[in-house]
Amino acid sequence: MSIAIAIDGPAGAGKSTLSKAVAKELSFIYVDTGALYRTIGLAAARKGIDKNDKENIVKILDEIEVKLAFNDEGTQIVLLNGEDVSGYIRTPEASMYASSVSAIPEVRAFLLDLQRNMAKNDNVIMDGRDIGTVVLPDAKIKIFLTASPETRAMRRYKENLEKGIECNYDDVLKDVNERDYNDSHRDIAPLKPAEDSITVDTSDYDFEGSKNALLKVIKENM
């Protein structure tokens, strides 16, 4: 029987990077659900649709095929209608689009079966905003991964600079707080810990410390 581990938490908590590392350590398949929403947002942006234009975003869903695959190096990539868009979905614009489109019920329904099917046949670690509460409510282990807004903003700020993306810390912090508010106040599947989740706060940890904290919780509850 397959094992599903759900990891939820706010933007910038390191869910994707840490989940990927932990999945590799445990030989699980990593599913980056945030990338799926970013891809829908990218499709809308490319068509010139405003991120808050729900009607027209819903209209283009029939034209979209989203898949997770692996390239020749064994790295997971995201395909939008057959195109590898893994690099394009990591911009600040894609992040804000993801926050908006993820609040649209039709978009969530569009991606729900895709996410659940991934957990049916394989051992998976899946991260997002509502994995433990909505997508995989029966997941064996549920973790709410978080860190202070200031810590998350500083991590994102440094990450952007390393990628050559010009920004300033105050703007990044503002975006983090705005994303937190939008995610936790949306009507559909708001960001919140599942009742039976375990909270892991990485504010005081570096990457290795955060990874070890996650692994400890998972191994204790397997």
Is the predicted pLDDT of residue 65 greater than 90, yes or no? yes
Tell me the residue type at 129: R
Residues 6 or more apart whose CB falls under 8 angstroms from that of 60 comprise: 43, 44, 47, 49
Q: What is the pTM of this model?
A: 0.78
Residue range 15-31, pLDDT digits in tens: 889 999 999 999 898 88
CB-CB neighbours of 58 under 10 Å: 16
Mean pLDDT, the chain, as a whole number?
91
Residue range 67-123, pLDDT digits in tens: 888 777 767 789 999 999 999 998 888 888 988 898 899 999 999 988 898 888 789
The residue among 168, 122, 126 whose CA lies nearest residue 143 is: 126
| Mean pLDDT on 188-198 | 89
| pLDDT score, position 142 | 97
Is the predicted pLDDT of residue 136 greater than 90, yes or no? yes
Cα→Cα distances 165→157, 160, 162, 185, Å:
9, 5, 7, 29
Q: Is 32 helix (H, G, I), strand (E, B) or coil?
A: strand
Name, of 111-115, 132-136, 188-192, the range with top average pLDDT: 132-136
